[in-house]
Chains A and B, each alone.
Chain A
Amino acid sequence: MLIPSRNRGGLSRRRFVTGLGAGAVMAALPRPLQAHTPTAGQIPPMARARWNLRVGRSRIEIDHKMLHAPCIGGDVPGPILRWRQGDTVSINVTNTLADEDTSIHWHGLRLPASMDGVPGLSFAGIAPGQTFTYRFPITQSGTYWYHSHSGMQEAQGLYGAIVIDPPVPDPQPCARDYVILLSEWSDVSPMDMLSNLKMQDDYYVFRQRTLASFPREARAAGSPLAALKDRLAWSRMRMAATDIADVTGVIYTYLLNGHAPDMNWNALFTPGERVRLRFINGASMTFFDIRIPGLEMLVVAADGNAVEPVPVDEFRIGVAETYDVIVQPREARAYTLFAQSEDRTGYARGTLAPQPGMSGPIPPMDPRPVRSMVDMGMGDMKPGSSMKGMAMPDHAPGMQASHGHSHLMPHHEGRMMEGMDMTDMQPSPPEPSGHGMSMPEHHMDKPTHHKPTTDTASIIEVDDPGPPPLNVENQNIARMPTDRLGSPGDGLEHNGRRVLNYSQLRATRPGSDPRPPTREIIMHLTGNMERYIWGFNGRKFSESGPIRLRRNERVRFTLINDTMMEHPIHLHGMWSELENGQGAYRPYKHTLISQPGSKLSYLVTADAPGMWAYHCHLMLHMETGMFRTVIVE
């Protein structure tokens, strides 16, 4: 009834082949792998407006994991598409897969809805043997990417980078320019991952708190009693503080431009040159923390759009985000590009070097993050005091009834807070959206008093779902969601390095739509890890209606994350202008990380008519329900 697994690298896995994969593997001629040409990461010398892409399955082996991967032109990742702003591009996508539809979605591109490449919303997909011609004008520039939106092809290799030249000379000229596309590789099919997670939510987590790890925790917590209390608190909630990633390095090999760490992808530089690195997170389930020991990185663009340069030592990239950074290595030595997964179960790695074939030292991975009460939306309570104010799902009706009014009424927050005495619970005061500069801990000693901004005053319609229910599909309520825009994220705070956070992103030009929002849509991100169901407002996709926006409506989306995981939320077709305290210089993003237990807001101009996808970009979260249709009428 079960197949004991092979052992490899100390980890054993169940060998798995899909029915489809099995047939295809046997039919395919074995050929030596080669997903990684020497040109991986090299941007084509010239922009082109016409492209022909062939989607098929290729037998590819990376890190001893053989996969009949759906991909373009036999390569993972697919080719880097270089376009030019102002052109109209035309891309013929031919499906040579045996018996499955495919599609290509142009992630972050502003285009007609029919060209967006989401089966069911934009078009009917591309059937086997068919060719679909995408044709749309390019009205933006920067670093983007493309991926399949059919089945789970994206998780197995159907993705690639897009680089769009600006119409004017780059204000940040660089001698060299590379794409750094991060992703995962596994021979376990995504459907199997999902099935395993439905049976056991911590199936891929082997870093849990155990008896063996207790002494270490006791030292960290100060006493065995404190450590025990913290464990009991988590156990009581039927959650795990060690729940960082659903799918881990136990089955994933992390790739940099299609290269496993020991394949050491190389990029060349001459000392003193400025080198632009276009980071793209093309993974399906993994956040990466990126640094290049010995080099300062100048962040100059986020999600394709230029930002005022921010010098950092490290940054976190959520699934589907892109960041352009500029480095200037001055010594003639090898520098390691180090991208560790957020849960520290593995890393992707490459090398910047003056000559091919060099390699630099690989730093040890950082300690793994551990979730805290902040992640549960319990404000800034210390673990020791955590038992006191904690929501007891389905066992504390009093708590449920009192939930949430501090964050549910954006108009009146300031007033609501005035008379409240919650000294025990040390809440972060909810602020009117757009004041996201301060760190959570900074809130604590501040009297909680904020006047509504003029922005808020302009809102005449609020779609507030109220506190999400505790039901089959939702196991937690963030009772005191905090503003975490000033935090680089779990595991990166106070690590001694300058780590990018969202409040530092400032666009280089003011937003194109100065109108204040007239409508606010509040969305709770919810889920039940135990049953592995994800959604918004306590509902999965199939139980929800579409979100309807009026044409050219100016809308504020407010996301309250009731789960204890990060979710990269992606709205197709329209920009998400993050309200991070930069006033008119809001950064324009296509994918925003909603940190656990946090609240954030962004503005959207509904200027693109049609049906669009709106979803968490963690593939297994999307497929289990964290997806909505947005209709612009």
Chain B
Amino acid sequence: MRRALPAAALLLLATALPAQAQSQAHSQAITTARKTTTATLRKPPPRAAYHAADAPTNAPVAYVGGMKPVMDQGRYLHGILDELEGRYAPGGTDFRWDGEAWYGGDYNRLWLKSEGTLEHGRLHDGDHELLYSRAVSPYWNVQAGVRADIDDGPTRTWGALGVQGLALYQFEFQATAYVSDRGRFASRIEGSYDFLLTNRLILQPQAEFNLYTKSDPARQVGAGLSDVDAGLRLRYEIWRKFAPYVAVSYAGYLTQARRIVHDQQGESGALRLTFGVRSWF
């Protein structure tokens, strides 16, 4: 969804970061210089505190008929399926969805997130969250609510608290911490980036990591970094709201979870050719 720069730009990222530090130091130097020169030249004239001509007031304006001239508090409803895809494998194709919907205004929104994978007729990695989202800065929202792991495995419920937004260089980013009804902790980190090859052909690397404090073998969860689900998707936006894609996806278990799955004779990870559609309303 974001505008992007070519892949090579990433390589420059590392070199650019020191430049930022420099620029901050530079600006502070200017600030200091300004203060001293002003002070030595002349005492700054007394000045009233800042006052905006349109400052909010308690005295309401009597609009004719109670009509507000503009409606800037509109509420909107949107939903997006970032992933709706088949992950091909000779032994059986998996189907996966990952999407979210929100309703609300500029500050307060209700979010619904849902994802899951259908594998050999069994639903796993089913994760559904209902969150209140509050805009807190130009690009960031704080989100809090509940998560329910509902699929063919045992059900778990969690409280959730996280951030979601647009990081520097226009990375889409979400990080959420969870605490379960059994006193366990978990965390999920998700990120994606849109590289515009053309205005309609977009390459999107995406990754999601799950971490847990304790293992939960019944759900193939291990302590520490437990699983990863990543994809490199090449989509074509026939229209903004409808974009078929081809992708390479990887879903796998890591560290302790990998051993748990191995002991259960499960597949510990697979790289797959994937086809899907990204769509939203």
Contact = CB atoms under 8 A, between A and B. Distances in A.
Given A195-B76, A396-B23, A211 B240 contact: no
B106 A533 contact: yes
Interface string A312-327: 0000000000000000
Interface stretch (A63-71, A491-499, A510-518, A625-633): A625-633
A211 B234 CA distance: 14
Contact of A395 (B166, B168, B196): B168
Interface string B1-44: 10111111100110010011011101110110110011011101
Given A388-B26, A521-B53, A625-B70, A195 B78 contact: yes
Given A121-B69, A541-B70, A421 B195 contact: no
A125 B6 contact: no
A470 B62 CA distance: 31
Nearest to B57: A545
A402 interface: yes
Nearest to A424: B26
A548 B44 CA distance: 29
Contacts of B279: 1-2
Contacts, number: 267
Contacts of A390: 23
A61 interface: no
Contacts of B79: 1
Contacts of A625: 70, 72
A29 to B, nearest CB: 31
Given A199-B78, A211-B195, A542-B73, A235 B135 contact: no
A12 B169 contact: no
A393 B137 CA distance: 10
A223 interface: no
Interface size class of B (residues with CB under 8 A): 35 or more
A198, A228, A472, most chain B CB atoms within 10 A: A472
Contacts of B8: 228
Nearest to B8: A228
Given A412-B45, A530-B166, A540-B72, A402 B31 contact: yes
B26 to A, nearest CB: 7
Interface of A: 1-2, 4-5, 12-14, 118-125, 149, 194-196, 198-200, 202-203, 206-212, 214, 228-229, 231-232, 235-236, 238, 240, 242, 387-390, 392-396, 398-399, 401-402, 405, 409, 411-412, 415-416, 418-422, 424-425, 462-466, 470-475, 521-523, 528, 530-531, 533, 536-537, 539-548, 611, 613, 615, 622-625, 627-629, 631
Given A2-B242, A122-B64, A199-B280, 18 more contacts: A119-B65, A120-B67, A149-B69, A210-B196, A232-B169, A411-B45, A419-B38, A422-B30, A463-B51, A465-B50, A466-B50, A523-B54, A536-B54, A539-B56, A546-B54, A624-B72, A628-B54, A629-B61
Interface of B: 1, 3-9, 12-13, 16, 19-20, 22-24, 26-28, 30-31, 33-34, 37-38, 40-42, 44-45, 47-48, 50-57, 59, 61, 63-74, 76, 78-81, 106-107, 135-139, 166, 168-170, 195-200, 238-242, 279-281
